Structure 1
Amino acid sequence: MNEPFPYDVFLSHSAKDKAVVRPLAERLRQDGLKVWFDEWVLKPGDSIPAKIEDGLEHSRVLVLCMSAQAFGSDWAQLEAGTFRFRDPLNRERRFIPLRLDDAPIKGSLAQFHYINWLPADREQENAKLLEACRQPKTWPQSPENAGLPKHLEPALPNPPVSSEHDFVGKHRLELAEEVLARFYQAREIIESARSPAYFAGECASRKAAADESPKEKRIRDDAFVVLDRLNRNSETFSRIQVLRYRFMAQFGAGAVAPFDELKSILNRLFVSAHQWVVLSEVNERNFTNPQSLQEHRVRIEKHEGVLWGTEGDDPICRGLEKAIGGIEQLCRPHLSRTG
């Protein structure tokens, strides 16, 4: 984050919230921020997925506008964009939740401190929003872990004991056992989430748009199931990322590679779910060039391979093997000493 970003803020929102988000974008721009807002950036003929990807890549922070509309049919696409901006505890503060109405906050987002953008609160909250966009690492002013559920709070340092050597050995053993078990659990969750078979009831919590076609519903349901299965197990992934810092303290900074690999796998799944939905809903009749159509289909197949695997080289399976192999190599020597 040392290099300047072309955009200060990417506004992620439901198209149905334009009446609220448009004045917000204007206000941020008047306050001197460079804002990525689709109405200002997208031009006729632009590839919408490509422009959105470019905007996400080149924005310093993402403001997610949460509302009943956003938590509806647009949710899978909106949430996918947030994962490149936040680690599970959002320590860098590059992800800013903005609440537009009183709709219940979904899943893992409930753990994050948000800014109220209800009509009665906007004037008072505007200063917070500006600070969050300009200086993400200093916002919010409250202690870093304030408001986190207990199971997400980083462990406090243990008090001194009489035998430091015995304590360190025992502590490493317990930590290695938990981390290894959590990685095995994460692998099972990801493998299960990627299963293409699902029950109709798994889609019940997704609110379909009134104008969804049968094809759009099938596409969105397919992607939703993968993301929902992962979100239902978000506590496991959050716990792994909390353990990451304790693991670094005990095993060295170089021991984080398996944690980074696992985080990368989750990011790929969420981004591919978003891209697969967007690309799959494109009408192929719009392609007049056979080569462009073929390239479009190849992109779809690439994201399908990430979501559900392929008969050949499976990037997610390969990544899981790398993460599990790495964490086993670090943990096994300490577990084998307990005879």
Structure 2
Amino acid sequence: MDWIGTLRDASVLIGTWVAIYGIDSWRREHRGRRQIELAEETLALFYEAGDAIRHIRHPASYSSETESIEKGEHESKTSYEARKNASVVFKRYNDHQELFNRLHAMRYRFMAQIGKDKAKPFDDLRRIVSEIIVSARMLARLWARENFRIEQQWEQHQRSVEKHEAVFWEGLQEEDPINPRLDKIVDDIERTCREVISGKGTLHGILNRPVFRSKG
């Protein structure tokens, strides 16, 4: 058996393997750095957004949050109180608006660098925020209504109030219409971002999984 030839071939194979691994590591470090930084920033902003939405929907409010709301000259007291109470959501949303604007702008970079098919959590989060804003606007009108001609109108009105209050306030109903969806959004974006951060799918990522690493 030609041991020298075998060793030479093995050396060539090992050298090629090391070169491929080195090239992949280099590509991951230099070409993938922007993706990794984007994934880290995106994930952090989604965590912040989840907390922001919970703050917006928190049922406790403070007088300082509505002190800027003034009663209109011809506005009834009931309408004023309804509009003032609903305005808490708008005040809190404005406090976090820069965060949501950054997320919306980041969506396009995310689609370009990581994939359009991975950007659904951005749309889902935006939809939740829109639903909360719409419910606040609806409640500003619904809470102000007092007169009903027939009982069926009152019952329908109450159903509408309960529907929008469940979106407006966290924990009002046992089956919250927002929180499970919000948790899923964060889970989905976390899964995508962690795959990018860990380099899953590259040779570097495969060879650095626990199964390939020696136990210390």
TM-score bracket, normalised by the shorter chain, equals: 0.7 to 0.9
Partner of 2:156: 295
Give the distance between the partners of 1:214 and 1:200, measured in 2 at CA. Answer: 17
Amino acid at match of 1:194: R
Per the alignment, residue 165 of structure 2 pairs with 304
Flag the structure with more relative contact order, 1 or 2, with Cα contacts below 8 A and sequence separation at least 6.
Answer: 2
Aligned-pair CA distance for 1:189: 0.9
Residues of 1 paired with 2:59 and 2:71: CA distance? 20
Contact 1:172 1:250 in 2 (8 A): yes
In 2, are the aligned partners of 1:261 and 1:322 still within 8 Å (CA)?
no
* 1:197 and 2:64 aligned: no
> Structure 1 residue aligned with 2:192, among 324, 330, 336?
330
Which secondary structure state, in structure 2, belongs to the residue aligned with residue 315 of structure 1?
A: coil
- The answer to whether the 8 Å contact 2:131/2:167 transfers is yes
Q: Residue 231 of structure 1 aligns with which residue?
A: 94
Matched, 1:174 2:37: yes
8 Å Cα contact 2:79-2:141 kept in structure 1: no
Distance 1:257 1:328 in 2: 12
Q: Higher helix proportion, which one?
A: 2
RMSD: 1.9
Q: Which whole-Å deviations, capped at 9, do the CAs of 1:270-293 have from their partners, x for residues lacking one?
A: 11111111122122x3232x2222
CA positional deviation for 1:177: 0.7
Higher fraction of strand: 1
2:66 is aligned with 1:222: no
Matching residue of 1:286: 148
Post-superposition Cα deviations, 1:38-78, rounded to whole Å, max 9, x if no partner, equal: xxxxxxxxxxxxxxxxxxxxxxxxxxxxxxxxxxxxxxxxx
Quote the Cα distance in structure 2 between the aligned partners of 1:329 and 1:208. Answer: 48
Structure 1 letter corresponding to 2:128: I
What is the alpha-carbon distance in structure 1 between the residues aligned to residue 31 and residue 156 of structure 2? 55
CA distance in 2, matches of 1:168, 1:295: 58
Q: Figure out how many residues of one structure are paired with residues of the other and give that number.
A: 175
Choose from 309, 318, 323 the match for 2:180: 318
Equivalent residues of 1:305, 1:314 under 8 A apart: yes
Extract unaligned runs of 5+ from structure 1: 1-162
Secondary structure of the structure 2 residue equivalent to 1:286: coil
Structure 2 Cα separation of the partners of residues 245 and 167 of structure 1: 21
Give me the identity figure in percent. 36
1:93-118 per-position Cα deviation (integer Å, ceiling 9, x unaligned): xxxxxxxxxxxxxxxxxxxxxxxxxx
Amino acid at match of 1:296: H
2:144 matched to 1:256? Answer: no
1:17-28 superposed matches below 5 A: none
Per the alignment, do residues 279 and 171 of structure 1 end up closer, same or farther by CA in structure 2, a change over 3 Å counting?
A: same
User: In the TM superposition, what is the alpha-carbon distance from 1:164 to its structure 2 partner?
Assistant: 5.0
Counterpart of 2:180 in structure 1: which amino acid?
A: R
Instruction: Find out whether 1:271 has 2:134 as its counterpart.
Output: yes
Give the corresponding residue for 2:46: 183
Structure 1 residue 308: Cα displacement: 0.2
Hey, what's the Cα distance between the residues in 2 that align with 1:183 and 1:287?
Answer: 46
Q: Could you tell me which runs of 5 or more consecutive residues in structure 2 were left unpaired when the two chains were aligned.
A: 1-25, 200-204, 209-216
State the Cα deviation string for residues 201-233 of structure 1 (Å, max 9, x = none).
Answer: 111222321333443232212210111111121
Query: What secondary structure is seen at the aligned counterpart in 1 of 2:32?
Result: helix
Matches of 1:256 and 1:335, distance apart in 2: 16
- Residue by residue over 1:246-297, the C-alpha shift from the partner in whole angstroms, topping out at 9 and shown as x without a partner, is 11112211111100011101110111111111122122x3232x22221111
Q: What are the superposed Cα offsets for residues 21-44 of structure 1, whole Å, 9 maximum, x if unpaired?
A: xxxxxxxxxxxxxxxxxxxxxxxx
Residue in structure 2 matched with residue 97 of structure 1 by the alignment: none
Offset of 1:165 from its aligned partner?
A: 4.2
8 Å CA contact retained: 2:38, 2:110:
yes
Shift of 1:319: 2.2
